[in-house]
Structure 1
């Protein structure tokens, strides 16, 4: 390849990354708007359910009144000579009024039930939109990392190796800053909102006095769904930027990921540390952690494994990691390599760190991921 002018190349690199970053921001804005609308509709569903419960209680009471008034009317009709004309007239009017009020209440109940069903359908649709937007943000982030790394390769042909590594470190730093920002926003927004919904659902459960079995079942289901969403939100926060990585380093953070993995899945994890454990440069810790994290995600989601082993080896000039599982494996890396954004991201991160990554797998005998990252002397 012929050498390119450094200024032209720099302009292309900056322009491309800026365009992709802008697209990512716009998609994230769409995701935020959809999420806010989803929370609004969720509150409307809660309100309509409460109003429906209230009108059902009112209908029940009116039905009781209507039965009493009809009995009264029957008694008056059978003993017409025993009651005064005013009593007969009052009985007829009372029955008529109660029946009219009951009919109106039943119409209102039907209307509220339709509104509830429509809102629940809309909430389901919005939830799907939010999930798709969130997935698209992740995919665009992966593409951004891929583009950045490929451009880094071009830059390395006209700049020194040190400059290329600095460029890669800046990309990783920018990505992690974005992760930290999103984590803070999610923590302050949807996580708090969902916790509040759980509390309100419990209050509603105590207040509803009609159709108890049905009301409690619906509210308990709602509460469990919200708690599950809350747990997933907190998991997303940790995945975006685990605070232990900044405070304690690589190994404690990996230990926490393994503990969480053990709690939520049937995979039994083990970790072994060789050499003298030490803190590494920030971009190395971040990059190596993300590679290990992605490998563990693949084990949990796809490997159908019962155990996974992580070994981290600290040496003076290199740090290495091995992630092995006893899952079903796959026949060839080519069958997944071109389609997996996860594996693509792992390779791009290791390239930016100037290290090596190898994946070995055999059908029915599990998968092993070998990672090696050089350290500055």
Structure 2
């Protein structure tokens, strides 16, 4: 329960971080968009201001020439004052004054426009830097989001995998203890009981001989032989379940053939086995691993999938070993994770220890196929 709360808390923290970063990204995007709009507006305003500055310069130059001419005219009127009438003199003075006033206004407006142009250019430079920083920050946040989305999920998977391995380790210990109990019961109920019976029957043989009852002694000896054979069979069966001697003596393929035949007969299930490639002895760890993989797959197909047909194919190539186990059982949803599915976890562990890959394909009511590929140089 505490572990589930811890997992939920971690997911909550990661989701909160992702949400905060995504909101920050949206805010930066909005800031960048507003800066772009302001930049476009200022560019347009700067263009208009520059055009006004040029027009004021042209108007000022033209008016300055007119003022210069008017001053010359005023100087001439002042010099030859007696040649002009009062109205002409007043008109020259008024025109000169009006043009000078207008020129001063134009120059003042030109100065204001120049200052506005310079201010707009400074603001545009500042906005350009703001947009660049916003884009750079948005790019960094995108990288962070990718990290949070992908890498943190990987962290979660790694944590989850570590928990699975821990649980798997505990399950192995439990399985070992259970296996010890099972073997103990089997030896107690089987060979041990039979040996006790053999001991009792041997005493009967001894009594019969002492009583000179040879026929009865021979009958007892026959029964003792039967019991010895049964005990030997039980001991060999227990040894085979622990580790088939044929695996050491004959190799992988003959052992799988024998195992498949025994399991098919015992469970009344059709099991087909075929092998291709060079049939030769492999490194011991590969033979043991592949035999255990066949065992687990076949047992799962019979026990859980309730399959009526199981196909096992082994291919021994120059650079790899490939095994395919298919059944026509009830299948399962591979996307839905099953609790305590330690059989498949154990198989995957074995394959990974051999640096191989295992792929499971299964659909409800359409059977299951397990493909195992392991690198191996003959």
In the superposition, the TM-score normalised over structure 2's length comes to 0.42
Greater Cα radius of gyration, structure 1 or 2: 2
